């Protein structure tokens, strides 16, 4: 017999599990080029001739292996973007802008941060970041072979 609603009990849980992710052939070369040569490299498909960034070991359209490395300039055009103004748990502190950047000479776009401009409020953000604008990579001084060796792309 219950005369009042029973308060349900809560059992807490938490996952904190370390992993080691294998970068693979193409990404290892790409990341090493960032670190050692401060250079972005794409890879060309021998069949459809597209230059793919980030590089991968096979072309998903032609399903053939890729092996022609193509050095690319560290500048490009902003395809599209969003500016995040909300703090999500475990995510970067807002505001920050995530863009899709088409590097000169590439056929695909690279995801990266767009920064180096005032986006402290929405009006400033919309004014300073626009689709189609030219961007240039801003590099880390101490590079470690991670995509974050490029800090962000900033408007030229």
Partner 1 sequence: MPKRVAIVGVGLTRCSSWRRDVSYPELVYEAVSAALQDAEIGPEAVDAVVFGSMDPFDGVNAPERWCVDACASAGALNKPLLKISTGGTTGGSAALGGYYHVASGMFDVVLVVCSQRVGETLDAQRVLNTAVDPVYERGFGVGAITVGAIQAASHMHRYGTTEEDLARVAVQNHDNSANNPYAHLRFKFTVEDALASRVLSWPLHLSDCCPSSDGACAVIFASEEKAPKLAKQPAWVRAAGQITDNYFMGDRPWAEDWDSLAILARRIYRLAKIDNPRREIDVAELYQAFSIQQILEYEALGFCEKGEGAKLVREGVTAMGGELPVCPSGGVLCTNPIGASGLIRVAEAALQVMGKADLRQVPNVKTALAHAWGATIGFHTLMVLDREAP
How many Å apart are CA 83 and CA 45, to the nearest integer? 33
Does residue 64 belong to the site contacting partner 1 (CB under 8 A)? no
Which residue from 32, 38, 39, 84 is in contact with partner 1, where contact means CB under 8 A? Answer: 84
Classified as helix, coil or strand, 111 is strand
Does residue 21 belong to the site contacting partner 1 (CB under 8 A)? yes
Task: At 5, list the tokens.
Answer: 């609603």
Closest CA to 101 of 133, 128, 123, 146: 133
Which residue from 83, 135, 137, 153 is in contact with partner 1, where contact means CB under 8 A? Answer: 83
Site string for partner 1, 102-141 (x = CB under 8 A): x-----xxxxxx--------x--xx----x----------
| 125: phi then psi, degrees, rounded to nearest 5 | -60, -50
Q: Which residues does residue 98 pair with via DSSP β-bridges, in sequence order?
A: 82, 113
Q: Which residues bind partner 1 (CB under 8 A)?
A: 8, 10, 13, 15, 19, 21, 23-24, 27, 31, 52-54, 60, 79-86, 88-92, 96, 98, 100, 102, 108-113, 122, 125-126, 131, 146-148
């Amino acid at each position: 017999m219950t005369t009042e609603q029973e308060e349900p009990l809560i059992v807490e849980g938490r996952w904190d599990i370390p992993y080691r992710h294998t970068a693979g052939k193409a990404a290892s070369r790409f990341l090493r080029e960032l670190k050692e040569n401060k250079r972005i490299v794409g890879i060309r498909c021998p069949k459809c001739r597209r230059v793919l960034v980030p590089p991968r070991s096979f072309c998903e359209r032609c399903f053939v292996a890729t092996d022609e490395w193509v050095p690319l300039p560290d500048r490009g055009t902003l395809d599209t973007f969003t500016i995040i103004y909300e703090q999500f748990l475990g995510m970067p502190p807002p505001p920050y802008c995530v863009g899709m950047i088409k590097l000169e000479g590439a056929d695909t776009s690279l995801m990266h941060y767009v920064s180096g401009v005032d986006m402290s409020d929405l009006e400033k953000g919309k004014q300073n970041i626009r689709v189609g604008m030219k961007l240039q990579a801003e590099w880390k001084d101490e590079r470690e072979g991670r995509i974050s060796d490029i800090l962000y792309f900033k408007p030229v």
